[in-house]
Structure 1
């Protein structure tokens, strides 16, 4: 029985091949994303397909996979907004994910983006390489004493909040299910609107759902302080890019750091250095000196990739053996 990987990158393959020594599964890798255009590449020997954040498992695709005899859709990520779960359930396909993989990896990347924007280390690096040691234009601000709003306090949000407490920040948080441990550490839970109104820095750590798409839009931006810093390492669809651009132009947003983008599917994880990018919004974003864009790399650490590979392969092996993986890994 074969597991067919889509959107597979070289840095992933080495981890999956290494951890497969414990499972002896048949692994095959494709670098293209899964969608209607490529579903015929799945043959009848495929037991599982392993997918990532930009693979599109629409009802049409899932029905085609079921017709080929695929039994498992394994997400090597935590988010599952790209999978039509009801269709998978109707077709009898099991769906599993990696519920947590080194949450510190993503949280630390969010902090790295925040510090880079604030202290302009990326600009200083380029200047010094050109023998320019001027400090003009590199003025930052202290994180100490600032109010940091954290939207979503799951494992990643908790890790980020703890780091911000270590910087001496006042941390406000919003989550449907407050974490008592964070509250004991000094995090204050507040209504969503209150967090937006009081935060100097806002960091998003919630999954993307139909209910919170464009969580950050013209309406919610209007509630924020002028000069707010926004960091998004969660899902691109949480921010209305068009509204964010307008807020950057007026100074409502002073700094924006995004590791995700609502139209990233055709951009991220690809080398487009020799291509013409037709996406005007990402081009406009990258034209701002106070915007930092990274290509969905927050998860990219040795520890996270090792955990992703181990969890994903052990779940597939369990299904193949007629067993059930841990409950928090199973979506269908």
Structure 2
């Protein structure tokens, strides 16, 4: 296994590095210390052809000027908080009247401290950042470490630890968009998605949860058995930007029958937000073509969004002096 870093760019006087992790099968995981962004994951199809299976940009500047959160580590709190309000704290309102993805100039838009890490059976990169007291309105100095490991079995492990000196909120996610066709040669409508999720969180027109957890049975939100994305979109033409409450073993499986690639996800988080990129017609380029609807699918493991306003959801309040641990594992295989 090989791990090295190279110069990738500059951001506000800080050097940005790309880390390249290559396993013994020549599958490659790439990430940068800006936003702890995953830039590429290059894995084989059923014929052994190694190609990239995530959405990203070819040059660093695009990660700064465009904001689809490609591959980014998002926090302090992923998703929306209604009215940007919690207790006596007013958070940054960066989506009309609401707060989204931790605010401005935070986890996904800063340069993290970073270092290569090696263990007997895996290589990785450890990113660290201290979000200061008052950052985007949040209380507490919050120390966060996120480590991405890459193994010889084509497994990406994401490990997150966090500790604050005051009571605060924490609900991070990674916002990678997947397209298992390789180099986005096709959209994801022929992919199948399966999740252990018996309920989804109903959302309003602002994409905020209403607080109701509804059964997926006999709805467009039922992915308990494998379902092709084109059929799912036919059932729900507006697409999905939907929180699902995970159950059972909390597994998620994305399958591309054309390339034979399979992604299996496991996590200790409560939920996953499925974002289907429906209607995402943009001017920026992905693999040389303008971003377009269904070019990828984001599978964002987290606790349910806006949890602070819904006591029936899993709490995202963290206590001072206590260390919190979160993990998600992504396994890439083929048929």
TM range (shorter): under 0.3
Structure with the bigger percentage of strand? 2
TM superposition score normalised by structure 2: 0.27
TM superposition score normalised by structure 1: 0.27
The structure with the larger Rg is 1
Structure with the bigger percentage of helix? 1
